[in-house]
Structure 1
């Protein structure tokens, strides 16, 4: 009988949708299918699109997908998968999954596959199963995978550990110069995009962002192939709703992919991503195994003692790990230092 993985490799979109649902639900069948599919992954270009809420990420992803499907230079069209992560409600747990509303232009195109995901409470702009979902789409043979993150703000940097190319999308009127300096998210940008560049304040925003890039620009060095050792993020103004600046942005994305492949950065990012994924899986599995090894009721008793202030969090940790408490001399020294 044909397995789910074989159906995905044969191009069945129904089988792919079923697999992604299994992965999101962390079903063992999804894990088994991923094991079969993993040797077929590693060929797609993973592009992360992140930025503040309201910056126009969904509209930009829509235009980029169209540009990959209908290249202006006459090159063959690329197949595109889109993973759009939406925030989950902290009260109901539900998510709107409304990004497809802005991507209606892509409906009916057999070369485009769109998957919406709820963050399910995960921080950092992605869902916990997003890496596995993207890996499945890579194995299914898509050339380009666009990953749109939750619009979380200044610390949404998980995408930098996942994607080959990271687009950080800003818009005029999102804050003053100090706000731009505070936004550590700019540091993860391979390409910085100022969308909605037709709005008032766009020129000031461009000057501020350009100054930020100049401050963080490394010394120019060359390799034997005359490639920059460190990629210099370009700043690209766009108006996604009017399809302006998209061709220039697409050129920078392709240039960054070429840079990564020729400089060895592609392999470095791939190894780093796999290491991060492995360590996260290890943490989850080891925590689950450790919890199951505890005597019944011990964890709850530790929490009760902790809440009653009979023990400190560090003492609770040592107790749960079966480690001896700190020597009394160290505790007395810490108390004396605190009192001083």
Structure 2
């Protein structure tokens, strides 16, 4: 496998794309996203050039159990941002179609109301088996939208419950959306969503049971307030390594006011817009808190640490299983396992021994 230096010159064919991207043409953004998703020739060099300025956008993650009306809420938030003349990027992560491998629900189906607004850029992505509620390259796509200059990014995760904790590695502010039905308040506490939420949203609040969920969440947050740790975690005091994202920022000292953000619980009816203005105001207040407390820099550093690990592990998997030598060793090892002469552990040790000997 040839080592790629991301500072190398771009392939000549990507020159016009880079120029159009930097000129703010949305068609270039769409093509750049496809380049990154497919890891096309020159994609590393392209990223190196466009991401040099660092993160600037306000990144808002929208997650929660299925059926919470997350798409409707994202649509309502995007419309409100446009009323304020703010451009918006939307990343909507869908389940993967078992037939095409692409997104099962397209962005035009889910968010038709946004499709005709030139101030809104929507990208629908398939999970393709990725855990954490995000597609494998969704974080790169989010970075591209940020580099393109979209000031507000709304990131909606696939509704799969307990595996949605990956949103903490993509967003600065996380909204956990629940509904009155199905005991979602208790489910949030069990699924770990209680720990990643910066703002709780009880959507479809015009339905029976909304007050119960609202009060359950308020009570649970009140109980947690006395147990908040000050260990400097990158996301609301949560050790992301426990969530499968080993965040280097967790070892940093926390600002004195790390835990001074009181997680609000808000009610909305996304279909009518009720409560959406108050929600957007809370999102902006949380951003102010992050800026003033120093938490924004800590979270951004934590995201970078997670990303470096993810990219490195992905590259190592390619090295490990992409060569003929390891494929041959695996075949031999499988024969030995079937004959009772080896275990998965011993076969793994043999493969690693050969790889390490090759340097």
Q: Give me the whole-angstrom Cα distance separating, in 2, the residues matched to 1:131 and 1:289.
A: 22
**3-state SS in 1 of match to 2:163:** coil
Distance 1:140 1:232 in 2: 33
**Equivalent residue number for residue 328 of structure 1:** none
Distance 2:209 2:317 in 1: 49
In structure 2, relative to structure 1, the CA distance for the partners of 1:208 and 1:304 (3 Å cut) is farther
CA distances 1:111-162 after superposition (whole Å, capped 9, x unpaired) = 2111111111111110000011111111100001111110011231000111
Q: In the alignment, which residue of structure 2 is the partner of 1:118?
A: 126
Match of 2:41 among 4, 28, 36: 28
Change (3 A) 1:300 1:34: same
Q: Is the 8 A contact 1:220 1:228 kept in 2?
A: no
2:297 aligns with one of 257, 267, 272: 267
Shift of 1:261: 0.8
Structure possessing the higher radius of gyration over alpha carbons = 1
113-122 or 227-236: bigger deviation: 227-236
What pairs with 1:31-70 in structure 2 (closer than 5 Å)?
31-70=44-83
Secondary structure at 1:232 match in 2: coil
Counterpart in the other structure of 1:287: 317
Structure 2, unaligned runs of 5 or more: 1-11, 230-254, 355-359
Moved more, 309-318 or 129-138: 309-318
Counterparts of 1:176 and 1:17, CA distance in 2: 36
Deviations 1:240-265 (A, max 9, x none): 00100111101110011111111111
Q: Is the 8 A contact 2:205 2:268 kept in 1?
A: yes
- Give the TM-score normalised by structure 2: 0.81
Q: Following the alignment from structure 1 to structure 2, what is the Cα–Cα distance between the partners of residues 260 and 314?
A: 45
Contact 1:85 1:126 in 2 (8 A): yes
Residue in 1 aligned with 2:135?
Answer: 127
| Cα 1:35–1:228 shift into 2, 3 Å | closer
Between the aligned partners of 1:155 and 1:20, the Cα distance in structure 2 is: 25
Shift in Å, 1:89: 3.1
Q: How has the CA–CA distance of structure 1 residues 33 and 309 changed in structure 2, closer, same or farther, with 3 Å as cutoff?
A: same
Equivalent residue in structure 2 for 1:145, among 139, 147, 153 = 153
TM-score, normalising length: structure 1: 0.86
Contact 1:20–1:30 (8 Å) recurs in 2:
no
Q: Matched residue pairs, number? A: 316
Residues 87 and 220 of structure 1: is their aligned pair in 2 closer, same or farther, counting only changes over 3 Å? Answer: closer
Structure 2: how far apart are the matches of 1:267 and 1:58? 29
1:66-123 per-residue CA deviation (whole Å, 9 max, x = no partner) reads 111113xxxxx22110010100034653432334334233233222111111111111
Q: Please identify, of 41-50 and 56-65, the stretch whose mean Cα deviation from structure 2 is larger.
A: 41-50
Counterpart CA distance in 1 for 2:124 and 2:295 is 29
2:333 to 293, 302, 324: 302
Q: Which residue of 2 aligns with 1:330?
A: none
Distance 1:293 1:211 in 2: 58
Residue 288 (structure 1) shift: 1.9
Partner SS state of residue 46, structure 1: strand
| Match for residue 168 of structure 1 among 176, 180, 190 | 176
The structure 2 residue matched to 1:316, chosen from 334, 347, 350, is 347
Pairwise CA RMSD of aligned residues? Answer: 2.4
